[in-house]
Amino acid sequence: MSIAQKVRELLKSHGTPSKEVYFDLENSGFVPQEVVEAMMPYFNRIGYGHPSITHKPGWEALEVVYETKELLGKTIGASDPDEIVFTHSGTEANNLAILGYLLKNRGRKGKVVVSSIEHLSVIFPAQFASELFGFKTVLVPVDSEGFVDPELFKLYVDKETVFVSIQMVNHEIGTIQKLKELIDIAKSANPDIVFHTDAVDAYGWIPIDVKKLGVDMLTISSHKIHGPRGVGALYIRKGVEVEPPIKGQLSVEKNWPGVENVPLIAGFKKAIEIMFSNFDYRVEYVRKLRDKLIKGITSSVPHTIINGPLNEYRVANNVNVSFLFIEGEALTVELSLHGVYVSSGSACSSRVLEPSHVLLAIGRKHEEAHGSILFKLSHYHREEDIDYALEVIPKAVERLRKISAWKQ
Amino acid sequence: MLLVFRLSSRIPLPYSPKVLEIFRNPRNLGPLEDANVVEMAGSPACGDMIRLYLKIVHRDDGDYIEKASFESYGCAANIAAASILTDMIIGKKVEDAWKISWKQISDELGGLPPIKYHCSILAVGALKRGIRAYYKQIGYNPPWLPKDLTVEERQVLEEEEMMERYYKAMKALGGGSR
């Protein structure tokens, strides 16, 4: 049987649940119809040309590319649209920031400092670049809620430090890092440090101002805000130079070679417009849903741990729960059979056989990480969706606990 | 802190309908009151653990597994592997049950994805431990029972020991657990 046939069989056996709620916005998500419609013309009606070529379809493409750069730049307080570089994913944008800067500065020796709960698209390029160019990558530990302790951070940044990357909001446990303080510490230890932040999970959820923060580079991803997959963006402050780690175009301005994905960029623009209209109201709305979900789970299911902070430093859309005595992958399958779609930080649900490095870094034991489930909410969720999840989750957990060989 | 990942198959093989079906309705679930062997393999820290309950009886023509049941902490494949193993051994001669390989379990489940092979290895490991425990209990060494640990038993042991070493190392570093 071919793999496609196997998947078809699996789906047939799974069936379509009578109600479906999608909470796995961490890994990817649906694209709202209005965003799809914003993309459509750019496939074959306008702007289908290459934005760097001198003809009308090219200029139409260039127009929407710059409209998006200008809009995006405005939402983060950039001073020039050319400070925005489009890549084809958040992973690529993080790679451009780290590999690109360290490639440009190869020959210099020194330290690269990243936190131990960064997305792997930050940790791996940092380690990779260090291996290639002789930098030393150091991971800063975090506390049990995912915060980098400023006093501890002072010991990690010094005259030897070349590059720092610390996430604005953690993708798994929703910690809103006290970034301004960390940037100030880094810059006062050494004004030459280039400070990058992965803001993929912050964008659209907390206000961002690159100038007030004093950050040098910042990563954003389209599909994390209900835009299409396949577009990422990196803000590179004017004056900071990177060398494209991938090659393919003669153009000197192009930090990420390859044709811009114009229709998807048009969709990204629409998604940004939606995220930033009624920003405060939307965030508050989602925060209420989040609190309802957290409260509902902890009051109906015994033996749970909420991972990440439980105060104003938790991002509005993140719920991460460890259910003890059961394994997270089994729970994702059980919930899927009932139409609740989530992901887990367990080893078994990942493509690697290790549980989430984020949960281990905040001091969770392996068995606590194995039972973790991540819910990511958005303004497309309704209160009924939370009610439905709260109806399904306790039963699912109870059934798996009954099966489990690990008893209280 | 070093991040080490054991990369495995990149082929995104899905579960078979059989795994999903058994996951939905596992058979032979829960403790067995008249079990004379209760054996475990794996640990919560590893992310999978199987407890096997066996009732082994002696008949004129040999020893038989009269009853078997399981509990499983682990992924959907782990639950399905433990369940189907109990189905496969109930009524079997112990000597024949000993011969069941992890591959047979995987095949019986419609082919596990390579990343889930360890689930069937764990199930077989638990069974082999249980059989050894039974003969130790009655103080008899059947000629067909190998002295050395089999591949499955060794692998289960390695997985368990690896986690123990990890926690010892983390403790020495002053972190890792609260």
Determine whether the interchain pair A405/B12 forms a contact, defined as Cβ–Cβ distance below 8 Å. Answer: no
Q: Which residues form the domain of A367?
A: 3-30+279-403
> Is residue A240 included in any domain, yes or no?
yes
Q: Per the domain annotation, does B172 fall within a domain?
A: no
Burial class (CB in 10 A: 0-12, 13-18, 19+), A184: middle
Give yes or no: residues A10 and A75 share one domain: no
The residue type found at A188 is S
Same domain, A70 and A13: no
Specify whether A305 is located in the same domain as A260.
Answer: no
B12 in a structural domain: no
Alpha-helical regions (H) of A117-260: 120-133, 150-154, 179-189, 210-213
Strand order in the sheet with A111-115: A84-87, A232-236, A217-221, A194-198, A161-165, A111-115, A136-140
Segment B11-50, tens digit of pLDDT: 456 899 999 999 999 999 999 999 999 999 999 988 899 9
A321 and A248 assigned to the same domain: no
Q: Percent of chain A beyond pLDDT 90?
A: 91
Which one of A245, A276, A307 terminates a domain?
Answer: A276
Q: Six-digit token pair at A170?
A: 């953690």
CATH at A76: 3.40.640.10
- Say how many domains are in chain B: 1
Residue B13 is predicted with a pLDDT of: 65
- Best mutation target among A1, A2, A3, A6 (most B Cβ atoms within 10 Å) is A6
Are residue A257 and residue A338 in the same domain, yes or no? no
Question: 143-202 in A: which are within 8 Å (CB) of B?
Answer: 144
How many domains does the structure of chain A reveal? 2
**CATH number of the domain that B33 lies in?**
3.90.1010.10
Longest CA pairwise span in chain B (Å): 60
Digit-coded pLDDT (tens) for B54-81: 999 999 999 999 999 999 999 999 999 9
Neighbours of A107 (CB within 10 A): 7
A141 with A183, same domain?
yes
Is position B75 annotated as part of the catalytic site? no
Chain A partners within 8 Å of B77 (Cβ): 348
- This model of the complex carries an ipTM of 0.89
Same domain flag for A391 and A245:
no
The average pLDDT across A187-204 equals: 98
Based on the fold, state whether residues A342 and A224 are members of the same structural domain.
no
Among candidate residues A258, A276, A294, the one where a domain is terminated: A276
B48-59 and B37-43 beta bridge pairing: antiparallel
Count how many Cα atoms sit within 13 Å of the Cα of residue A257 in the half-sphere of its side chain: 11
**Which residues of chain B does A325 touch, with a Cβ-Cβ cutoff of 8 Å?**
73
Q: What is the mean pLDDT of residues A188-204?
A: 98
Residue B4 falls inside a structural domain: no
Mean pLDDT, range B107-132, rounded to an integer: 93
Q: Would residue A408 count as lying in a domain?
A: no
Does residue A55 share a domain with residue A171?
Answer: yes
Cβ distance of A10 and B47 shorter than 8 Å: no
**Helices (DSSP H) in A51-171: which residue ranges?**
56-76, 90-104, 120-133, 150-154
Residue A244 sits in the same domain as residue A267: yes
Encode B106-120: b = buried (16+ Cβ within 10 Å), e = exposed. Answer: bebbbbbbebbbbbb
Q: Map residue B58 onto helix, strand or coil.
A: strand
B69 assigned to some structural domain:
yes
Which residue numbers of A are catalytic?
348
Question: Considering only CB atoms, which chain A residues are within 8 Å of B20?
Answer: 10, 13-14, 333, 337
A255-274 pLDDT per residue, tens: 888 899 999 999 999 999 99
Q: What is the mean pLDDT of residues A376-405?
A: 98
Choose the final residue of a domain: A276, A293, A310.
Answer: A276
CATH number at residue A399: 3.90.1150.10
Contact B8 A351 (CB under 8 A): yes
* B7 lies in some domain: no
Q: Do A10 and B17 touch (CB under 8 A)?
A: yes
Q: Which domain range does residue B73 map to?
A: 17-159
Q: How far apart are CA A97 and CA A122, in angstroms?
A: 9
The H-or-E segment that residue A38 falls in is helix A33-39
The 8-class DSSP code of residue A238 comes to: T
CA-to-CA dists, residue A166 to A173, A213, A220, A313, A334, angstroms: 15, 13, 14, 15, 35
Task: Find, in chain A, the residue whose alpha carbon is nearest to that of B7.
Answer: A352
